[in-house]
């Protein structure tokens, strides 16, 4: 709201005063501490080189045009010595932000653009159905689900998808592992392979098969685990719209069709009895040629991934987003090169990688190993700290930053715990309204545009932060990370506490009381909506 409004005013002024500055990229943010302004922009510095003038001179020439265009929004515009533009907002405009938030309530979203017409497919988690989801998968699930919620809030038509690797070597190892445990439970002596899946869940599946009289080891374990994954995700607040089977790509001949296209374009070669993909002649670079079909006739995951991504594009999605663990970083150029070879535009695919999650309990790092079965499942984390804390903690860091999940901190019922700190704002505001009703105080919704008293600093600061909500959502999509929203909500909480300490509410004069109650109402709306986009609840009592 605020950032987009001020940015529009600056852009219009730039286009009017400096023709050569058209399309300039600049920032608009809250100024550094100690600067007496509401917003600041580096626009003069951003165009200084192009126009051949000093930032200070550019700023001074822009100010009259900006002031003219910003009537009703900007109270004053000043140029700093380093060439920044500093803006003070009109009280009436600041008040209008709170009014707008209350009117739109949960429908708060940025202004529609041509980009919001893009049809988006977001594929995430997609863990092999060989075991329960672990804490690392939880980070990917949280990232994908929160991004999907933000995309929807911003008006994008988006679908979510889980790609099921339901064929291949890992499925064979799973079937073998369960079958051996099945024999062991029935009293047979077995020799369990080193590469087999060791977790207790393998024995549980075998026992369930015995209970049901099942012996279809190629099918039952996969379906059992896939259902377990689905339930774990739903318990985590994640519900995917489509579950896409890798096996269906072969059943429908889509793998061969994709390879046929590559063959026509001379992007395949046969060597040592195997079929290889070569990116020679492609605009995308790979480290080396990659096998698509082994000498024994088996296809690699890469072959089905090419067909899968082509299928996504064929379904009419303008943008396909894949969310993968960091260990897949070497796979990115292969997929990009294969799509380029198929003639698919590079900007239709975005691959996000997220870093490792480490778990800390009692001040000590927990050692985990997926293959040995010694790992912390997502369900264990949710059971111990709760869904809300888990979702918020996963959202606290950008995907490309490693995340240390402190279990003890996540369980604390104090302001040290980030999710408690934010949720308490919503609960405290609900408490204030309940207390008002108990005291017989009637909340009369005021027309803030008719208020003339100067806003106090704590009031202005809180409303201004609320007025950046939709700007933050746009920022989340620009960098494909919800951590900006989590950070923003913590900043809103900090400003709420300063407001609550500095400004009487229920004991204030009637007109001031009603205005402050409306400020609290708008704060409640933003906090509740922001938390919901992160998959976190907004309790009314704590």
Q: CA distances (Å), 378 to each of 138, 142, 411, in order?
A: 6, 11, 16
Relative to beta strand 319-325, strand 349-354 is parallel
pLDDT value of position 447: 87
The most confident of the ranges 54-58, 104-108, 424-428 is: 424-428
Strand partners, 330: none
Q: Label residue 529 by pLDDT band (50, 70, 90).
A: very high
* Per-residue pLDDT reduced to its tens digit, 443-463: 998 888 888 899 999 999 999
| CA–CA dist 371, 357 (Å, integer) | 17
pLDDT value of position 415: 94
The predicted model gives 152-180 an average pLDDT of: 96
Q: CA distances (Å), 421 to each of 354, 394, 425, 493, in order?
A: 26, 16, 7, 7
| CA–CA dist 161, 476 (Å, integer) | 20
Q: Which residue has the higher pLDDT, 283 or 102?
A: 102
Select 2-89's CATH number: 1.10.10.10, 3.30.1360.70, 2.40.10.340, 3.90.1150.10: 3.30.1360.70
pLDDT value of position 405: 93
B/e letters for 470-507, b = 16+ CB within 10 Å, e = fewer, are bbbbbebbeebbbbbbbbbbbebbbbbbebbeebebee
Q: How many CB atoms lie within 10 A of CB 32?
A: 9
pLDDT value of position 467: 97
User: pLDDT above 70 covers what percent of the chain?
Assistant: 97
pLDDT value of position 374: 59
Q: Which residue has the higher pLDDT, 175 or 330?
A: 175
Q: CA distances (Å), 286 to each of 261, 333, 458, in order?
A: 19, 6, 55
Q: CA distances (Å), 430 to each of 176, 433, 511, in order?
A: 56, 5, 20
| CA–CA dist 405, 139 (Å, integer) | 10
CATH (residue range 414-533)? 1.10.730.10
Crossing angle of helices 510-533 and 91-104, in 10° steps, is 60
| CA–CA dist 160, 326 (Å, integer) | 20
- Read off the pTM: 0.94
End-to-end CA distance of the chain: 31
* Closest by CA position to 484, among listed 428, 533, 421, 412: 533
* Per-residue pLDDT reduced to its tens digit, 322-378: 999 999 998 999 999 999 999 999 999 999 999 989 989 888 888 765 544 557 899
Contact 334, 125 (CB under 8 A): no
| CA–CA dist 274, 254 (Å, integer) | 19
φ/ψ of residue 287, rounded to 5: -70, -35
| CA–CA dist 356, 139 (Å, integer) | 9
Q: Label residue 285 by pLDDT band (50, 70, 90).
A: low
CATH class of the region 254-353: alpha beta
Which structure tokens are listed for 279?
């990116």
Contact 315, 121 (CB under 8 A): yes
Which structure tokens are listed for 379?
């369900």
* Per-residue pLDDT reduced to its tens digit, 129-149: 999 999 999 999 999 999 999
* Closest by CA position to 477, among listed 317, 352, 297: 352
* Closest by CA position to 445, among listed 105, 59, 80: 105
The predicted model gives 97-105 an average pLDDT of: 93
3-state secondary structure of 271: strand
Structural domain boundaries in the chain: 2-89, 254-353, 414-533
CA angle centred on 239, ends 235 and 243, rounded to 5°: 120
3-state secondary structure of 508: coil
* Per-residue pLDDT reduced to its tens digit, 461-514: 999 999 999 999 999 999 999 999 999 999 999 999 999 999 999 999 999 999
* Closest by CA position to 237, among listed 111, 386, 48: 386
Q: How many CB atoms lie within 10 A of CB 223?
A: 12
Q: CA distances (Å), 276 to each of 147, 151, 298, 299, 337, in order?
A: 36, 38, 13, 11, 13
pLDDT greater than 60 at residue 436: yes
Relative to beta strand 349-354, strand 357-361 is unpaired
Please state the separation of Cα 416 from the chain's center in Å.
23
């Amino acid at each position: 709201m605020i950032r987009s409004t001020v940015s529009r005013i600056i852009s219009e002024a730039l286009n009017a005063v400096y023709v050569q500055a058209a399309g300039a990229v600049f920032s608009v943010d809250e100024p550094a501490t100690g600067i007496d302004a509401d917003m600041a922009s580096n626009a003069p510095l951003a165009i200084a080189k192009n126009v051949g003038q000093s930032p200070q001179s550019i700023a001074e020439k822009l100010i009259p045009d900006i002031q003219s265009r910003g009537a009703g929004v900007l109270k004053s515009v000043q140029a700093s010595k380093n060439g920044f533009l500093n803006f003070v907002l009109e009280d009436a405009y600041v008040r209008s932000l709170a009014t707008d938030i209350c009117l739109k309530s949960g429908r708060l979203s940025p202004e529609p653009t041509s980009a919001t017409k893009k049809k988006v497919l977001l594929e995430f988690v997609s863990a092999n159905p060989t075991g329960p989801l672990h804490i690392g998968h939880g980070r990917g699930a949280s990232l994908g689900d929160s991004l999907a919620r933000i995309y929807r809030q911003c008006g994008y038509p988006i679908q979510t998808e889980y790609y099921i690797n339901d064929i291949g070597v890992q499925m064979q190892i799973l079937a073998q592992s369960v079958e051996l445990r099945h024999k062991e439970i029935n009293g047979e002596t077995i020799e369990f392979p080193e590469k087999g899946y060791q977790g207790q869940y393998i024995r549980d599946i075998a026992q369930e098969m015995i209970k049901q009289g099942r012996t279809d080891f190629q099918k039952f374990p996969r379906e059992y685990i896939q259902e377990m994954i689905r339930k774990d995700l739903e318990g985590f607040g994640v519900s995917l719209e489509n579950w896409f089977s890798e096996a269906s790509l072969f059943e429908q001949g889509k793998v061969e069709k994709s390879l046929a296209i590559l063959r026509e374009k001379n992007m395949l070669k046969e060597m040592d009895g195997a079929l290889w993909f070569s990116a020679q002649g492609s605009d995308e670079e790979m480290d080396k040629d990659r096998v698509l079909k082994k000498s024994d006739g088996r296809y690699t995951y890469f072959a089905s991934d090419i067909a899968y991504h082509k299928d996504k594009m064929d379904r009419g999605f303008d943008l396909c987003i894949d969310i993968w663990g960091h260990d897949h970083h070497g796979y990115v150029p292969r997929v990009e090169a294969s799509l380029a070879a198929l003639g698919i535009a590079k900007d239709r695919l975005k691959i996000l990688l997220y870093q490792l999650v480490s778990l800390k309990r009692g001040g000590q790092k927990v050692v985990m190993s997926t293959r040995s079965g010694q790992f912390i499942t997502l369900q264990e984390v949710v059971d111990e700290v709760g869904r809300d804390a888990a979702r918020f903690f996963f959202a606290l860091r950008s995907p490309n930053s490693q995340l240390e999940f402190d279990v003890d901190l996540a369980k604390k019922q104090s302001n040290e715990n980030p999710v408690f700190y934010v949720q308490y704002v919503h609960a405290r505001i609900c408490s204030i309204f309940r207390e008002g009703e108990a005291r017989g105080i009637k909340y009369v919704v005021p027309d803030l545009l008719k208020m003339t008293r100067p806003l106090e600093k704590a009031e202005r600061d809180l409303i201004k932060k609320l007025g950046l909500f939709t700007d933050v959502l746009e920022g989340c999509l620009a960098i494909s990370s919800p951590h900006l929203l989590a950070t923003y909500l913590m900043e809103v909480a900090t400003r709420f506490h300063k407001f609550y300490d500095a400004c009487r509410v229920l004991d204030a004069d009637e007109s001031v009381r009603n205005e402050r109650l409306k400020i609290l109402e708008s704060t409640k709306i933003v906090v509740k909506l922001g938390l919901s986009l992160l998959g976190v609840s907004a309790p009314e009592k704590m």
